Amino acid sequence: MSLPDEVLAVAATLRRGLEDALGDGLAGLFIYGAAMFPHPDGWALDFDFHALVERPLTAAERDSIRHVYASLATRSALGRELDGYFVLRADAAKSEPPVHQLDRSVRDEAWALHRAHVHADRYASICGVDPKAIVPVPTWPELDAALRAELAFIVTHPEATAFGILNGSRILASYQRRDVVLSKYEAAQWALDALPSEWHDAVGAALRRYQRIPQPADDDTLMRAWAPFVAFVRTRLPAT
């Protein structure tokens, strides 16, 4: 699919910045996420990406990357929404959640989900190694663990109410369909069809937040619904 111009512009600038910062240490760059799916005009996008690197980053390289981030943040709204992982090329060939080389206290706990998107061709390779040639196809147990990690992330971010409602819907849809390759927008449509009507107002409010067309009551709707909805999602997970 063709990518929005704003996504292409950020991708090109990020590529140049990482090539300058890392030289031959940059093995590849690919993007995924909402930009790879149909979505309404005005939809709030993150810039989701993985950079594959040949070797652990030095302190100087990490500083250079942070300067690239800061520069992108001054150029566009999307440039302020970078959500990426820097992963060793050797680690990308493994199933275990890889260490984020920009912050080694972090792992990509959604690695199985990201691999599923790659193997479903919901990604775009910007430069270097094509990830589809190296990342393993995820197993269902790996996807199950990643979905549960997604729910744990929602629980620890109660301030992100719209995100929690839509990503909770995506978790439920993924189990119901046994397919994790869907967007938050697609998951919301599923939720409006498949979930009890008591959740429809919250899903609608979350959709409007992401479409940047909120109504005055939406914040209150989301705040009241978040905790009960998260509890509902937890009860609907299959037993391990």
Q: Say what the pTM is.
A: 0.95
> Band of the pLDDT at 239, cuts 50, 70, 90?
confident
128 and 147, same structural domain? no
Domain span at residue 111 reads 5-133
**Residue labelled with tokens 């040949």:** 54
Total structural domains in the chain? Answer: 2
pLDDT at 1 exceeding the cut of 80: no
Tens of pLDDT along 116-147? 999 999 999 999 999 999 999 999 999 999 99
> Rounded distance, CA 102 to CA 199, Å?
38
> Band of the pLDDT at 29, cuts 50, 70, 90?
very high
- Give phi and psi for 53, each to the nearest 5: -120, 150
- Residue 50 sits in a domain whose CATH number is 3.30.460
Residue 61's nearest CA partner among 99, 19, 27 is 19
58 and 21, same structural domain? yes
Burial classification of residue 138, based on how many CB atoms lie within 10 Å of its CB (0-12 exposed, 13-18 middle, 19 or more buried): buried
End-of-domain residue from the set 133, 149, 174: 133
159 and 129, same structural domain? no
101 and 57, same structural domain? yes
R_g (Cα) of the chain, nearest Å: 18
Average pLDDT over residues 192-209: 98
